Amino acid sequence: MMKYFRLTTILLVFAFAAGALTGPNLAMAASAAEIDRDAQKALEKLYTKSPSAKTMGEKAVGILVFPGIVKGGFIVGGQYGEGALIKDGKTVGYYNTVAASYGLQAGLQKFGYALFFMTDSALKWLDKSDGWEIGVGPSIVVVDAGAATSLTSTTAQSDIYAFFFDQKGLMAGLGLQGTKITRLEK
């Protein structure tokens, strides 16, 4: 019995440490200028690597770019990042993305993603929902490297397309399910 108590205590300490290390740190929150710069730079880099993303960007009514999301955990995990909503080449709003998870997981990773809003109704959903939980609302298609080669603005029929980029670190899997996006006042 004492063995299980110690194991549980150790796991709880690791879970608390992982949560403290991966949770949002408001003292380190980026300024509006930093978010603008990083989002524009990340979008240009994505366009260079993926012509399909560039084509989607030309047709999108808005692009929500999260250039640097940190994800980490051990049993219990979390992720956080800040980004900018870009319309017609200009930033029109700031958002954060937050997710929590639990299960068999361990690692630390940094990555970014961009959401291409193809319809006005999908873009309106972002602002009318008080914190948008991905998986509820407009349909999203996650575009991987293989699908991106055959995707064009003619074959694209979904409301929102997600492109992941700049993956660094070691953590199993990337996904958007359970991610919450909330508007920030900067």
Joined together, the tokens standing for residue 117 give: 């809003």
How does pLDDT run across 56-65, given as a tens digit for each residue?
999 999 999 9
Q: What is the largest CA-CA distance in the chain?
A: 63
Q: Which residues of 68-77 are buried (b: 16+ CB within 10 A; e: fewer)?
A: bbbbbbbebb
Residue ranges making up the domain that contains 60: 2-184
Contact between residue 21 and residue 74 where contact means Cβ atoms under 8 Å apart: no
- For the entire predicted model, the pTM comes to 0.75
Question: What's the total number of domains in the chain?
Answer: 1
Sequence-distant (≥ 6) Cβ neighbours of residue 119 within 8 angstroms: 61, 138, 159
Least confident of 6-15, 112-121, 177-186: 6-15
How does pLDDT run across 97-118, given as a tens digit for each residue?
998 887 777 888 999 999 999 9
- How many residues appear in the chain? 186
